[in-house]
Amino acid sequence: MASKVMVGLVVLLAVQWVAAQQSQIFAGMAKTFVPAEYAKMGPLMSIITPTVQPQDVYLIRKQILRARDMLDVFSPVYPNFYEGVDLWSVMRGCLDDGYTLIGDLQDLNHSNVPYTQADLQVKRNLVLQWQMSFNQLNQQYNFANFVGDAQLGTYTHVNESSFYWKKVPSRPTGESLGTKTLQYLLSNQLQTALKYFDTVDPVSSVITESIHAIFHDLRKELRTIMDEQNEFKTALLPVTTQYIAIFNLLGMARDKAGNINDEITAYYYYQSHHQLMKLPALQTQINSDWAAMKLWMQQVNLRGNLVQLLNDLNVPTY
């Protein structure tokens, strides 16, 4: 009897050890994080109704972003062809469309421009059409099953985001160590953020389209870094007072850039609608806010803090 108990215990420990090892590899982490964030979308989809207002959609848009981000982080372990199609690209594209269209609706609430009921109805209808398309694709392909089926190989997809693996020199496999892989990705993202920072920091205005594109990418890169830290926490860096302070600074920079971006969106709106009388005052406001943000970045040494995070990661070539 004792020997049977011992054998049973050994088997149980072996199963637990295998499960623990699998959860530490990149594919194992994918099976944990991607389905969890995707599942959180379900209850929030009910926000989208024929009477939904711009101020109502923040939570569902945020969760679509989190689900899309997790697909991006773990894109190398989802196969190119699943049930005959590149289902990762289908799902990612669908989430991206939803994020964009819901964002256009949400922007009516805080983009500093007036809108009519006709404007609202057009953008609301596009969101409702997206919701119908999403439900049809989900019924056809069962996205929940797909995101739970991460593989041990490595795969590429045609529409991968440039904020994740698209421009990274080396790609992981499903068997790569999960923590090291996430740190390697973050290291590359920090390097990219520094390049964007060094491009926009010397300029006095971020209104021109070419500079605004880089400024906007810097904001999105900071947001991506913040989101990953919030999601993975100690898998990236220890949760210390020092790192909490640095990530708080990154969050403040993201928010300041977001406010300026809203003003630039309004500027382009007035420009495209030939309301040229509004442009000089708005241009002055944007340039003033950008000058204030640059001074703040210098005072808090934002660039130095990005460099410190990069150096502390100390990630070798993958």
d(CA 243, CA 246): 5
Q: What is the pLDDT of residue 19?
A: 41
d(CA 87, CA 155): 12
Terminal-to-terminal C-alpha distance of the chain = 50
Q: Is 215 left (phi over 0), alpha (psi -120 to 50) or beta?
A: alpha
**Joined tokens for residue 119:** 């404007």
**Joined tokens for residue 224:** 């991506």
DSSP state of 47: G
d(CA 108, CA 304): 36
Nearest to 51 by CA among 130, 124, 134: 124
d(CA 154, CA 81): 12
d(CA 99, CA 247): 24
Q: What is the pLDDT of residue 3?
A: 56
Nearest to 76 by CA among 7, 220, 199, 172: 172
Counting Cα atoms < 13 Å in the Cβ hemisphere of 41 gives 22
pTM of the model: 0.85
Q: Dihedrals φ, ψ of 201, to 5°?
A: -60, -40
Q: What is the pLDDT of residue 194?
A: 96
pLDDT averaged per 10 residues in sequence order, the chain, 318 residues: 48 37 79 96 97 96 96 94 88 97 90 82 97 96 94 90 90 92 94 96 95 96 93 85 93 96 91 90 96 97 95 70
Q: What is the pLDDT of residue 81?
A: 81
Domain spanning 26-147 has what CATH number? 1.20.120
d(CA 71, CA 81): 15
Residue 139: count other Cβ atoms within 10 Å of its Cβ: 9
